Amino acid sequence: MKAVMTALVLLFCTALFATEAEAVNKASTVSWYKKSASEGNPEAQFYLGVMYSKGAGVTKNDDLAVYWFKKAAAQNHAQAQLNLGYMYESGKGVKKNYGEAVQWYERAAENGSSVAMNNLGIMHMMGMGVKKDSYKAYKYWRMAAQHGNNNAWDNIEKLRRLDPQAVR
C-alpha cells in the first residue's frame, strides 16, 4: 500500500511540475513570438494571430488575432490572408463582411492557398459577397483540387449532381 501511495504522490508531483513547466514554456513562446512579430517577422505575426484566435498561451482575443493577421497578410503571408478571410466571413474580431472575406480569400488563393480557392468556390456557389455563379464556383474548386484539396473534389461531385451544366 505504501508503494502505491508513493507512486501516486510521484505521479501527482510530476503532473504538477509538468503543468508549471508547460505554462513557463507557453509564456516564453509567446514572449518570443511577440518580440519577433514586433520586429516585422510575418511568420511570427501569423502565429501570434493564431495564438490569440485560439487562446493558446494567451487570453483569447479575436481583435488582436485580426491585428496580427493583418500585419502578416500585408507581407503576402497566404495563411494570414486565409485566416483574415475567415475572420471577415464569420465576424470574429471584425464586422462580418462577405465582400471583404472574398478579397482576402482571393489574395490567399493568388499566393497558392488551396483552402482559399475552395472557400472562394463556396462563396461563389452561395452568392456570399459575390454574385451567385456555379460556373465560377466550379472554376475555383477545380483549381483547389489541382492543388491537392480533397474537399474541392467533394464539392465538384456535389455540383455535378446539382448543376451538371456548370461542370463543363
Residues 157 and 76 in one domain: no
Residues 27 and 79 in one domain: yes
Q: Of 108, 129, 144, which one is at a domain's C-terminal end?
A: 108
Residue 73 has pLDDT above 60, yes or no: yes
Residue 151 Rama label (left phi>0; alpha psi -120 to 50; beta): alpha
DSSP E strands in the chain: the ranges are none
Lowest mean pLDDT among 6-15, 64-73, 136-145: 6-15
Distance of CA 48 to the CA centre of its chain: 12
Q: How confident is the model at residue 19 (pLDDT cuts 50, 70, 90)?
A: very low
Residue 24 has pLDDT above 70, yes or no: no
Residues 99 and 139 in one domain: no
Q: Give me the domain span that covers residue 62.
A: 1-108
**CATH number of the domain bearing residue 14:** 1.25.40.10
Residue 6 has pLDDT above 80, yes or no: no
Please write the tens of the pLDDT for every residue from 51-62.
999 998 899 999
Q: What is the pLDDT of residue 28?
A: 76
Angle formed at CA 71 by CA 70 and CA 75, multiple of 5 degrees: 105
Q: Of 108, 131, 156, which one is at a domain's C-terminal end?
A: 108
Residues 132 and 80 in one domain: no
**Whole-model pTM?**
0.82
Q: Which value, to the nearest 10 degrees, does the dihedral of the CA atoms of residues 36, 38, 44, 49 take?
A: 150
For residue 166, count CB atoms less than 10 angstroms from its CB and return exposed for 0-12, middle for 13-18, buried for 19 or more. middle
Residues 82 and 3 in one domain: yes
Residues 58 and 102 in one domain: yes
**More confident of the two residues 45 and 57:** 45
The total domain count for the chain is: 2
Residues 97 and 29 in one domain: yes
Please write the tens of the pLDDT for every residue from 126-144.
999 999 999 999 999 999 9
Q: Of 108, 123, 141, which one is at a domain's C-terminal end?
A: 108
